[in-house]
Structure 1
């Protein structure tokens, strides 16, 4: 096959003619050398020469045939979870190739109408699918024919294509695939995965999370799942048990508080002011709301300081209680303060309280408890200075009606976090030893290299899910700042001087539902503490709509160094990738033909004709938004390592038996699947040879007791 200006693989494999002639000539020279006037020795040499040349041409013909087959149907790509490679240096993504100018050239050539019969399904395929539709409701003898044509087997010449949609050209332009991976050093720059609904984002997350759990040096794995994917929870638990890390596995789920671990988002902090920042940071700061947000911050800070001085750990329930009624906290703190500094003060306060009536109570103190008014009058005379007491005094001196108005923006947020059984999870009782549900915080999880699944039940209550998610992100930002300054083991007796960072793998599925202003510093500065964010969402507009500010959305996107894009439906989202790619020159072929006659009657020729194939160069984008819109399910473009574009198809897990899970987690997974994913389907395990991934339950190690989930009861298989 000679070298030409343009590569042409969508054509008949004409090399096979040469192969047939070479094979015949080799047989003739080997068995009948006398027929071509050769001696047996020379005939053997000639047969070998013909065979060698025939083999070369056969290899060239195979390249053409393989390319033509790959354009229409990709080979099966199946892996079990045990076969997913786990490396200390790289993150496995799937199989694919690096996209170059050659692949754009092949894509342009494949869209030529002249080669459509090599790209489009053949006539027999279309007839088979039409027969299946017509015989769908046919009686028994005829229905067998439809089942035969739909049989998903390599022995079926009418085998249907995998139900993944999209254009097979995008991956078929490179028949020689290789394992594609991302250097682990690039993950600290964060990864953004974009793709529309049901194209494989969550399944890609399972592949990544499986590797993070099994890495030889244990790493922290934190997964935020707003909608609640039962298969993702199951995969995490099964892989944690296989890796021998089930004791470090925690489940936090707002929808199932009975088995969920408990978490206090404001219970651990480096500075007391962080409590107010985490709560008030979720309030709107735009326009006139900024003043109310600042007041809310100050008021929550006053309450938090008072609780700390009283020896209590702040939580949402206590803060909500004292926002509604600050009088009780003022009285309690005053009792403790005077018991230490002025034991006789309380006698005077009781006397002042007895003299109060509706006429001598100051107007701005109307509605307050008499004891509060008495304490305020005593402090006004004694002029006692205490920062916490002064803050509480300033709060109770507000007019009650005016005070309720300025904290009106704070109360809805606190109500979301303290209503119903959610309060048991976010405001745990540390002294209740009868409650088997563990209590965790992020520093504890990081130090013990834990694995945490956070299910926020956003489909049931999106407002509460967003509030809890923002609280957790704000807490993580605080922990990241502490780790960046002091390290992970700061304050422990065995703390060493090692400067090595512990990778903290944070996977945020549907992260646009969780994102607030807290998320920006997490991805902007969290890398210095070892936090590696992998965020999954549908479109760029989801981020802008959530933040409400285009500039802030651009700030978020700009902090992701790796961009992985599955099929999207929004052109602006596709252009987020395509506009970063260069333009390249591709060759196009033009057929030119013409005829010229002559006016000379004595000339020997009446006319002349010519036919030419002209090759010209045209500048086109490396890929266009239309290519991303037409990606099949389970395939993506990965823009990584400072400008490299890779085309990847990933292995996707299929549902696995639940016999390796504790009974309570089996019930949780069963309810989650019926509640959230009943209509979603499992496209990757349907007919047509879509990629699948499974694990072998017989090789899973026996269950061990866990601090996070109940493994004491028997296990059972969920149908």
Structure 2
């Protein structure tokens, strides 16, 4: 753009500079071929021609700037990029193309809404006529049906070609023709990023751009996808393959257990009490529920400690089994306890058991196995210095009806996590050597710099998806605390104990997964290298999920970078606009008037005057209505300490060499069939086309190779660790 020389730019006007260009080129022609017509010698003719050409070039550049500005306001240039072309840097995160929004852009935007400039902003009459003609001739017979096909042909030489199906107002980005590549310093990502936008406006496409760079950069990449986006899964597989990282690529999907990796959310811990915290932390804690949550925490902690002492790795299935039947665990632990500390105790216990009957059994122990009652009475006669035994004994002494009441809120949660084949995925059997599905945990993923796709099948069962997502978040918080204190390589040979690695966590529709576990992750996870990029639709989604406005504000306040795509809620748009300063814009006022003369003998009957007055008005830098009218694939980005950028992300172009193994093709096909996929918003349809989205199936894999196509064979079994 030319340097601004006046208070108000005049870009919405006829390109009068082209008249000067025409005159200059005519003068240059005459100066070279007919210098005598300008009273010049041939030598001076050449010098004059150079002057004409130089001046005409300057004016041509200014005229083309005006034409380009007016063209961009109506239609932006197409911006397409294959995944191979996405730039990857070790210092910056590529976002797209755009410009930094300043006062002049607010000035230009306000100017486009003035009625005198409608001809330069709104579609021409020929464009509107072509669209009406297409509607009328939609079912016309041949050859009339060829006419709408010609007018809708999307080629550059079609003067009435339709606008891209992205909606919104192109003027929001067209007011700055000189775009640059927009990127975010990687050091800023540790402050976490929030992406807001309504459905099918480009959130998943932005996630693909970010995930592509994270994978190719060789960093830990974890993607939580509650709804199930087949294109996102495909993109992660292709990029992992392209980066040579298929050995670290894991797929966990609740709706596809046969081809999913397995994961135990409570199997790894630093302190045994973390198991109870991760499970009970998902229970309601408001009002009277707080007391039941504390009781549940205590009983889960008792069970987890007992399992750990018995050399068993805790999981949801075992915990549920022992919550329902705590007596079985009490007997199992008593066997170990007495065998190691008091082998002769069994003789006394059997003697006590022989004397028991319905009359001398305490009321609170009625209905329990006689052996349990005998062990309890024996322990009451001896001094026990084992906190695990004390805890189990106190649990079995509760009346059965009372015990069921105080764990009433815990059992539904455990039912959600252990029903059906899902129990195989989140309560894996480490001793089953015939199961080829790999088992992973977060510390292993971080150390291996893994790439993990988490599909939670939330459309089929949102309750279970939220429970599993919260469990994974709780586990991640625990791992983050360990990394913060000891580093990633703690306990490994040659470890310095202080190394950290970036952990890129992408949470799509994160309001569906968010609980109390999410707050400490974004609040304190940055110290361990966790970089959260959260995607959701509105602020109300966060508040509705948490149920507390103060906590919702606490969550939002921990995101330093904000990407605002098109939203439909004004309060969400004001999250961006309320943080921006106000600016002064110039306005013009036309003033005209006439005054009669009071001198009857004078030659002047009246005097008139016309003025253009320039004044300033204070307005917001961006209005909420501007955010609501954003086209798909465009966003306002508040990054790097509050700098406002207007960006648009590149449209995807398919790569011819993209293919997937058959098991992931089947999974992606299942997701496309059962989930509403809004990934093709740039094609104008919210539903995936079975032809356009068909995945290549030229990879020949046998059935026994299916499970090995996701991860390397040596990853199928993991050593138990606590």
Equivalent in the alignment of 2:263 = 263
**Separation in 2 of the partners of 1:136 and 1:229?**
33
Shift of 1:681: 6.8
The 5-angstrom pairing of residues 381-396 of structure 1 reads 381-396=381-396
Check conservation: 1:219, 1:503, Cα contact below 8 A: yes
Change (3 A) 1:297 1:349: same
Equivalent in the alignment of 2:664 = 665
Check conservation: 1:230, 1:672, Cα contact below 8 A: yes
Shift of 1:44: 1.3
Equivalent in the alignment of 1:177 = 179
**Separation in 2 of the partners of 1:649 and 1:500?**
36
Equivalent in the alignment of 1:513 = 512
Check conservation: 2:83, 2:653, Cα contact below 8 A: no
Equivalent in the alignment of 2:595 = 596
Equivalent in the alignment of 1:53 = 55
Equivalent in the alignment of 1:709 = 710
**Separation in 1 of the partners of 2:439 and 2:708?**
10
Comparing 84-93 with 1-10, greater Cα deviation is found at 1-10
Shift of 1:496: 2.6
Change (3 A) 1:300 1:657: farther
Comparing 619-628 with 2-11, greater Cα deviation is found at 2-11
**Separation in 2 of the partners of 1:340 and 1:435?**
35
2:153 is aligned with 1:154: no
Equivalent in the alignment of 2:114 = 112
Change (3 A) 1:281 1:657: farther
The 5-angstrom pairing of residues 261-660 of structure 1 reads 261-497=261-497, 499-653=498-652, 660=659
Shift of 1:685: 3.4
Change (3 A) 1:644 1:702: farther
How high is the TM-score relative to the length of structure 2? 0.94
Equivalent in the alignment of 1:76 = 78
Shift of 1:708: 6.7
How high is the TM-score relative to the length of structure 1? 0.95
Check conservation: 2:662, 2:706, Cα contact below 8 A: no
Change (3 A) 1:701 1:370: closer
**Separation in 1 of the partners of 2:655 and 2:565?**
25
2:200 is aligned with 1:198: yes
Comparing 701-710 with 311-320, greater Cα deviation is found at 701-710
Check conservation: 2:18, 2:60, Cα contact below 8 A: yes
Check conservation: 1:587, 1:618, Cα contact below 8 A: yes
**Separation in 2 of the partners of 1:131 and 1:39?**
59
2:214 is aligned with 1:212: yes
Shift of 1:154: 0.5
Deviating beyond 6 angstroms after TM superposition, the runs of 4 or more aligned structure 1 residues are: 655-659, 700-706
2:251 is aligned with 1:246: no
Check conservation: 1:247, 1:705, Cα contact below 8 A: no
Cα deviation, 1:630-670, whole Å, max 9, x if unaligned, reads 00000001000001100000013356679621111110101
Shift of 1:711: 8.8
**Separation in 2 of the partners of 1:582 and 1:318?**
56
Equivalent in the alignment of 1:683 = 681
**Separation in 2 of the partners of 1:702 and 1:95?**
40
Equivalent in the alignment of 2:123 = 121
Give the secondary-structure state (helix, strand or coil) at the position aligned to 1:528: helix
Cα deviation, 1:445-493, whole Å, max 9, x if unaligned, reads 0001100000000000000000000000000000000000000011112
Change (3 A) 1:605 1:72: same
2:44 is aligned with 1:42: yes
Give the secondary-structure state (helix, strand or coil) at the position aligned to 1:141: coil
Change (3 A) 1:655 1:348: farther
**Separation in 1 of the partners of 2:617 and 2:568?**
28
Cα deviation, 1:109-138, whole Å, max 9, x if unaligned, reads 111110100000000000000000001111
**Separation in 1 of the partners of 2:145 and 2:269?**
68
**Separation in 1 of the partners of 2:540 and 2:356?**
60
Give the secondary-structure state (helix, strand or coil) at the position aligned to 2:612: strand
Cα deviation, 1:341-373, whole Å, max 9, x if unaligned, reads 111111211221122111111011111111111
RMSD: 2.0
**Separation in 2 of the partners of 1:662 and 1:640?**
39
Check conservation: 2:166, 2:684, Cα contact below 8 A: no
For structure 1, the residue ranges without an aligned partner over 5 or more in a row are 688-693, 713-719
**Separation in 2 of the partners of 1:49 and 1:324?**
95
Equivalent in the alignment of 1:228 = 228
Shift of 1:686: 4.9
**Separation in 2 of the partners of 1:95 and 1:432?**
51
Give the secondary-structure state (helix, strand or coil) at the position aligned to 2:563: strand
Equivalent in the alignment of 1:27 = 29
Check conservation: 1:249, 1:450, Cα contact below 8 A: yes
**Separation in 1 of the partners of 2:256 and 2:307?**
30
Shift of 1:706: 8.3
**Separation in 1 of the partners of 2:568 and 2:681?**
18
**Separation in 2 of the partners of 1:685 and 1:621?**
34
Change (3 A) 1:143 1:701: closer
Shift of 1:627: 0.2
Check conservation: 2:133, 2:148, Cα contact below 8 A: yes
Check conservation: 2:573, 2:624, Cα contact below 8 A: yes
Equivalent in the alignment of 2:718 = none
Shift of 1:62: 0.7
Equivalent in the alignment of 1:63 = 65
